[in-house]
Amino acid sequence: MDSNIFKVVKYIALSLFLSTSFLFSECKITLTENFFNDDIIGYYLSAIDIDTGESNLLLFDYQINFIGCPEDSPKELEIEFSIEINLPGHTNQISIIEGTFKLTNITINDQVYSISFRNTDLNSDTVALPSGVEFSMDDYTIGITANQAEELSELILGLGRLPNGRYSFTFEVVSCDAADFADAKIIKELNIFLPEYLSLLSPGSSDISDLLYNQVYIPYPIFQWNADYCSKCGDYSIRICEYDPDTHSSLEDAINSLSILPIGTGFLDTDSQNNIFQYPVTGFEDLHPGNFYVWQVKRSFETTYGLEEKLSDIFVFQMNDNEQSSNNTELNEQNLNLILQFIGQFKFDELFALDSGELYNYNPSSTINIDGQEKSLDYLLELIELLNNSQIQILEVNVE
């Protein structure tokens, strides 16, 4: 009896051992991403040979992993790929190209074996990867119509780069003998929105003759600008210099002289992607009444050329030297503008702009009541940034 029980237990143990050994020895193939250059949003044609697809710029590095595969298999596998694009103004996603490439002469010499393939390794003449694995393009099809191809070609050639849009790259192992490749698929979404304009709003203007109409009445003015969407731009930076008509021949000459913000040279990082900046209360030279100043804004982004910078136009303004004016029109306009940015145009018009508005013709003071607490109107700058970053939301605006 005891002997029979022992035999049963032994058979169960052997069975479990065989099952476990089979599971752990199952050949599994996965596809992983070692690198993808997400920071680049400007893909210029000069970075790639249109005829061969050859490029020296590393855009992606993918790796095929063979886990638990015996040395005698697999010998080859097939990978399907596709590139699709969704352009602004087009309702449907456009299939640029899709096809299959084959890897053969795979020699597995370890339980965990991998093959890396990079865009820099691939072009129309590629017959083998650096690892020695043979490469061949079985077939491919252009998914766009003749009209779409012509339209896209004209757009790319006109821009000299890939157009703005949302790109989708797919790689998937679809055939491999005696292997599990269920996890061997990668879908990469890439948003490419290269900025095209950056223009200043206030204070000042680009016309020196308008200086009399572009005076600033408060010691720490708010600088504002307008710009289009950028998918991967860094924070804005700003530069402010003194303009002396007797010394500087132009606004460009002044902006290229020593700056007061930052001190000496360069641009000051605003630590924000919002289109607003207030002159710091401490840490920098005060803006002196009667003096002229020029300012400019910059933003930067990565392209296949490297770091590219966009500069705004240059504005000039004068600090008003009449202290009595500090509580007059300019201050009121700035306070109203802060409130406008915080509560939005619709609510602002309802309260301040319409004849029926509760605050029509009202000039706000230097303080405002928020959630029962009295705050300086400058505090709205912090709230505007939080609001723009979706970190807070306005539930209700009441007038008391």
Residue 220: give its domain's CATH number: 2.60.40.10
Residues 80 and 170 in one domain: yes
331: confidence class by pLDDT, cuts 50, 70, 90 = low
Which has more confidence, 341 or 258? 258
Give dist(CA 330, CA 333) in Å, integer.
Answer: 5
Residues 178 and 82 in one domain: yes
Amino acid, res. 189: E
Residue 49 domain-assigned? yes
Q: How far is CA 363 from the centre of its chain?
A: 40
Last residue of a domain, one of 144, 163, 192: 192
- Is 92's pLDDT higher than 60? yes
Element (H, E) at 56: none
52: confidence class by pLDDT, cuts 50, 70, 90 = low
Residues 158 and 266 in one domain: no
Closest-CA residue to 29 (of 177, 153, 165, 148): 177
257: confidence class by pLDDT, cuts 50, 70, 90 = very high
pLDDT tens across 98-107, in order?
A: 888 899 888 8
Output DSSP code: residue 210. Answer: G
Per-residue pLDDT, averaged over 57-81, amounts to: 83
Q: Which of 36-50, 131-145, 291-305 has the highest mean pLDDT?
A: 291-305
Residues 176 and 72 in one domain: yes
CB-CB contact of 295 with 259 (8 Å): no
Closest-CA residue to 63 (of 166, 127, 133, 148): 133
Element (H, E) at 10: helix 2-24
Q: What is the pLDDT of residue 322?
A: 66
Residues 200 and 188 in one domain: no
Backbone phi, then psi, for 296, in 5-degree steps? -150, 150
**Cis peptide leading into residue 74 (ω within 30°):** yes
Residue 300 domain-assigned? yes
Per the listing, tokens 């079985």 go with 138
pLDDT tens across 143-192, in order?
A: 666 776 777 778 888 888 888 888 888 999 988 766 777 778 999 988 88
Give dist(CA 43, CA 301) in Å, integer.
Answer: 12
Give dist(CA 363, CA 381) in Å, integer.
Answer: 19
Per-residue pLDDT, averaged over 109-120, amounts to: 82
**pLDDT > 70 in the chain, percent:** 83
Residue 7 domain-assigned? no
Give dist(CA 92, CA 205) in Å, integer.
Answer: 42
Residue 16 domain-assigned? no
Which region, left, alpha or beta, applies to residue 32 given φ > 0 means left and ψ of -120 to 50 means alpha?
Answer: beta
Mean pLDDT, the chain, whole residue set: 80
Residue 343 domain-assigned? yes
Residues 128 and 259 in one domain: no
- Is 33's pLDDT higher than 80? yes
Amino acid, res. 223: F
Output DSSP code: residue 350. Answer: I
Give 322's contacts (C-beta < 8 A, 6+ positions apart): 289
- Is 251's pLDDT higher than 90? yes
Q: What is the pLDDT of residue 3?
A: 40
Residues 228 and 347 in one domain: no
CB-CB contact of 39 with 232 (8 Å): yes
Closest-CA residue to 239 (of 268, 263, 216, 264): 268
Closest-CA residue to 87 (of 162, 198, 187, 186): 162
Last residue of a domain, one of 324, 343, 358: 324
Give dist(CA 40, CA 259) in Å, integer.
Answer: 31
Residues 282 and 235 in one domain: yes
Per-residue pLDDT, averaged over 367-391, amounts to: 73
Can you tell me whether residue 248 is helix, strand or coil?
Answer: coil
**CA atoms within 13 Å, Cβ hemisphere of 261:** 24
Which has more confidence, 124 or 43? 43
Residues 55 and 178 in one domain: yes
Closest-CA residue to 185 (of 210, 168, 205, 202): 168
Q: Is the dihedral of CA 22, 23, 24, 30 positive or negative?
A: positive
Q: What is the pTM of this model?
A: 0.70
73: confidence class by pLDDT, cuts 50, 70, 90 = low
Q: What is the pLDDT of residue 16?
A: 27
Which token pair is 323? 């202290």
Can you tell me whether residue 241 is helix, strand or coil?
Answer: strand
Residue 182 domain-assigned? yes
Q: What is the pLDDT of residue 317?
A: 94
Q: What is the pLDDT of residue 307?
A: 92
CB-CB contact of 259 with 239 (8 Å): yes
Residue 245 domain-assigned? yes
Which has more confidence, 240 or 328? 240
Q: What is the pLDDT of residue 95?
A: 77
**CA atoms within 13 Å, Cβ hemisphere of 62:** 18
Residue 3 domain-assigned? no
Residues 206 and 186 in one domain: no
Residues 377 and 251 in one domain: no
Last residue of a domain, one of 167, 192, 217: 192
Q: Which of 126-135, 168-177, 279-288 has the lowest mean pLDDT?
A: 168-177
Q: What is the pLDDT of residue 150?
A: 76
Q: What is the pLDDT of residue 138?
A: 66
Q: What is the pLDDT of residue 35?
A: 92
Which has more confidence, 305 or 153? 305
Q: What is the pLDDT of residue 22?
A: 32
Per-residue pLDDT, averaged over 221-230, amounts to: 91
Q: What is the pLDDT of residue 6?
A: 30
Q: What is the pLDDT of residue 366?
A: 63
Domains: count for the chain: 3
Per-residue pLDDT, averaged over 214-227, amounts to: 87
Q: Which domain holds residue 305?
A: 195-324
Can you tell me whether residue 158 is helix, strand or coil?
Answer: helix
- Is 49's pLDDT higher than 80? no
Residues 62 and 114 in one domain: yes
